[in-house]
Structure 1
């Protein structure tokens, strides 16, 4: 998937790149990441910049535009701010979607302005480029309130740079949640708020969406972070041992109880008890759990002495508990006892802008864990396959698929074919195409178009967008036929 627009100042290292036979920050970034367009600001002599742009256009296919900025000096904060704002305001809504800003070229004042604007009015992904580390996504681990912008105009560049270097709030607990999605960023902000309070939390979402990751982050950002985090899978409780596992038991309470043993509630004293697959609890267990949540007291199996535990509860489920409660399959009073702080985690297919970003991030982590994967990268055809799969197993499925593909890839590129081989073939829940229900009737042409569109996309992914090869795979007479079908179905090579 292409980021729409790359924004940057043109710096001296860029202008020197042609003579020095190097890339410079801008060209290196355009080579490292795909962009639909690029728009640059400059305050160097026109002739020098025009020569550079002519050379740059000969190196990449990305459409490039430039805008001259009239600056009193390259460190004049007010002029830099006005020029950068005017450029961003001139972009269309589509261009502002998935906006990217390259921080490396320009003065510290220019970098500071980009951070201010990209963190407030014009949300953007930041990039950095250096000879030593190459091109990387730059993590700016703090937020700036949008209402801060008006007084910011009166600050000097040095003052804003000092602000940028100020230590951010302690959000390290959430660093493992990798996302660019606005909806996910909102959930992280809500989770940070919940971490500061002692209310119970219910996290729901499909399997593999990161429910335990959020639960651990909330615990690690809370005042209980130095106390135990006890994770329990409610779906794995043997019916005859549920009470013992939750509440503990005394020696001799039953056959096999050879010593006193604390249950999960005791183990979580002072910390957090995370009950995963919360919706799997049997009705009888729901009753006993409700009492513990009400007064934090319980009794070990085989004991008469009442115990207490100071724990914070976080529960997770992939079921619709509101619906289950309405239908009498889950206790309504227990649901409302737990569902105070509620987080709905979206499936991966609904996290706009996250899929390829997550794929690259997961591969980066895998390389650290498996050094023999060093140098592996996902090719264009591989990214197309990732984009077209629905990932019913969400992040867990994406991670395991990329790992399998990386292990099997014979070269440095993880190709579309590698990923297709790594994907598990699942049986569709829809009716087979030859067994559609005719009782209500349907449009046969729509069905045929649906099938053809599916295989056109698949062929393009498998051939890295090479129309001639894709047309051969599909049995078309020539690539012009394929182009006409792509136009009919609204399919683009980079979609």
Structure 2
């Protein structure tokens, strides 16, 4: 572990003396330590900072250490967890190791053994824990401070160490090719070629030749021998983008290549051995495609040794300001603009936008504002124009609460045909309080009775109030 970048540990224990003792010992060993006295406090800390390891007592108030582990595993799959178990909780800790806890230690624990287990967990579970700036070059194209992306990159770094085939899942524009390139750069094949092909963008008649190559005379336009992408990527990585769009006939031939580790160019009787690492990517649901007979199950399992799923941009909104300014500084010089940043309201609009096109759409929006911008600060109007959403509205918490409350009341009145007693009951509020809420939002129950009357319903007497 580098002294310049010591790993951060999160220690969870409701015993203040034990928590202080653990912190002192771990800090003396060179670690940075954050502490929490409950599972809830630990989960809140995980939202703002990502440690490289969680060390938790099994017995905690409220949610116990096992529940904390389950929550950590669902949010941060690569984050190792070590449990400290008192005698009565050992069976639970043993069960937890079967479910994925790195290990457990019984109290009273041996300090030397604890430090050894922590070092082992960090070495296996968080390869980037001791990385310095020079070690971050492999992921330099991926701009993020999201905890979710940090977990994904930790998994990607681990996978890169092997030659296992990787399937990248994620919506269009979420950055699958960037992640594939990062995995390649972090692998032992980094000094060999990285070759990417979009399987859905090339006609079937050409895709086979593109992948496997051809010999002169194999078809009308084959005027010379040509190597395919498998051979061009020799010793390196071949990315098969949008693999879910590959025609069924080619799926059979691809499977044969993966099984035999050799390609036969079109028109040739001779096969050539190939040594490539396969990373495939898709935005399609391959499970549904297999069920519909559109994708071969045997090929799926060849490609899907490890699955990595990229979050949408909407699921990592904390990255939007970072990405927007990164793209701005990259694109402004291209258009000869002296644009330094976004106006605060423009940045809020970017954060609030839905982003169906993910990071690619954000890049396009920033490029448009760079092309049209005339001032040092990008104004809200220009962002709205680029988003094609002039009605973009960023609400304050009070405004959002007010809007939700009104829409909720309207929904209840519609559901009950203006019956205040029934609506108040559904809202778990007494009728007097419910009337105050209706008055606050200028809602008249009688306006909703006509809807019931039009459907042939008979309102109760309470509706008229």
User: Equivalent residue of 2:162, what SS?
Assistant: coil
1:248 and 2:213 are equivalent in the alignment? yes
Residues 372-391 of structure 1: CA deviation (Å, up to 9, x unaligned): 33342111110221122110
Measure how far apart 1:269 and its partner are. 1.2
What residue number does 1:314 align with?
279
Measure how far apart 1:95 and its partner are. 7.9
- Give yes or no for contact 2:142–2:178 (8 Å, CA) kept in 1: yes
- Give yes or no for contact 1:202–1:316 (8 Å, CA) kept in 2: yes
Measure how far apart 1:168 and its partner are. 6.5
What residue number does 1:233 align with?
198
- Give yes or no for contact 1:195–1:218 (8 Å, CA) kept in 2: yes
Pairing of 1:76-155 with structure 2 (within 5 A): 96=45, 99=48
What residue number does 1:130 align with?
none
Residues 24-61 of structure 1: CA deviation (Å, up to 9, x unaligned): xxxxxxxxxxxxxxxxxxxxxxxxxxxxxxxxxxxxxx
What residue number does 1:70 align with?
none
User: Equivalent residue of 2:360, what SS?
Assistant: helix
What residue number does 2:348 align with?
384
- Give yes or no for contact 1:98–1:353 (8 Å, CA) kept in 2: no
Measure how far apart 1:357 and its partner are. 2.6
What residue number does 2:3 align with?
none
1:335 and 2:271 are equivalent in the alignment? no
User: Equivalent residue of 1:275, what SS?
Assistant: strand
User: Equivalent residue of 1:273, what SS?
Assistant: strand
Query: What's the TM-score, normalizing by structure 2?
Result: 0.59
Residues 236-256 of structure 1: CA deviation (Å, up to 9, x unaligned): 222222322111111122212
Distance 1:336 1:175, change over 3 A: same
User: Equivalent residue of 1:258, what SS?
Assistant: coil
Measure how far apart 1:325 and its partner are. 0.8
1:408 is aligned, of 355, 367, 372, to: 372
Q: Distance in 2 between matches of 1:96 and 1:406?
A: 37
1:489 and 2:453 are equivalent in the alignment? no
Measure how far apart 1:366 and its partner are. 2.8
Q: Distance in 2 between matches of 1:203 and 1:181?
A: 18
Q: CA RMSD in A?
A: 3.9
What residue number does 2:171 align with?
206
Distance 1:121 1:288, change over 3 A: closer
Residues 335-382 of structure 1: CA deviation (Å, up to 9, x unaligned): 111000111111111125222232223223334x53733342111110
1:396 is aligned, of 360, 368, 371, to: 360
1:298 and 2:263 are equivalent in the alignment? yes
1:178 is aligned, of 143, 153, 160, to: 143
What residue number does 1:359 align with?
324
Distance 1:185 1:248, change over 3 A: same
Q: Distance in 2 between matches of 1:94 and 1:194?
A: 26
- Give yes or no for contact 2:337–2:374 (8 Å, CA) kept in 1: no
Residues 183-237 of structure 1: CA deviation (Å, up to 9, x unaligned): 2111101111111101111101100000000101111111111111111111122
Distance 1:379 1:98, change over 3 A: farther
Measure how far apart 1:403 and its partner are. 1.9
Q: Distance in 2 between matches of 1:185 and 1:485?
A: 30
- Give yes or no for contact 2:328–2:367 (8 Å, CA) kept in 1: yes
Q: Distance in 2 between matches of 1:293 and 1:333?
A: 11
Distance 1:218 1:118, change over 3 A: closer
- Give yes or no for contact 1:171–1:221 (8 Å, CA) kept in 2: no
Measure how far apart 1:415 and its partner are. 1.7
Distance 1:167 1:206, change over 3 A: closer
Distance 1:120 1:417, change over 3 A: farther
Q: Distance in 2 between matches of 1:395 and 1:94?
A: 27
Distance 1:253 1:418, change over 3 A: same
Distance 1:235 1:170, change over 3 A: same
1:422 is aligned, of 369, 386, 390, to: 386
Q: Distance in 2 between matches of 1:197 and 1:413?
A: 46
Structure 2 gap segments, 5+ residues each: 1-25, 56-78, 83-110, 116-128, 407-465
Pairing of 1:48-67 with structure 2 (within 5 A): none
Q: Distance in 1 between matches of 2:398 and 2:132?
A: 53
What residue number does 2:60 align with?
none
Q: Distance in 2 between matches of 1:484 and 1:245?
A: 56
Larger deviation, residues 272-281 vs 179-188? 179-188
User: Equivalent residue of 1:350, what SS?
Assistant: helix
What residue number does 1:279 align with?
244
- Give yes or no for contact 2:234–2:274 (8 Å, CA) kept in 1: yes
- Give yes or no for contact 1:230–1:268 (8 Å, CA) kept in 2: yes
- Give yes or no for contact 1:227–1:271 (8 Å, CA) kept in 2: yes
Distance 1:310 1:423, change over 3 A: same
Measure how far apart 1:420 and its partner are. 0.6
Structure 1 gap segments, 5+ residues each: 1-76, 101-116, 123-143, 152-163, 426-453, 466-481
- Give yes or no for contact 2:328–2:339 (8 Å, CA) kept in 1: no
Q: Distance in 1 between matches of 2:234 and 2:175?
A: 25
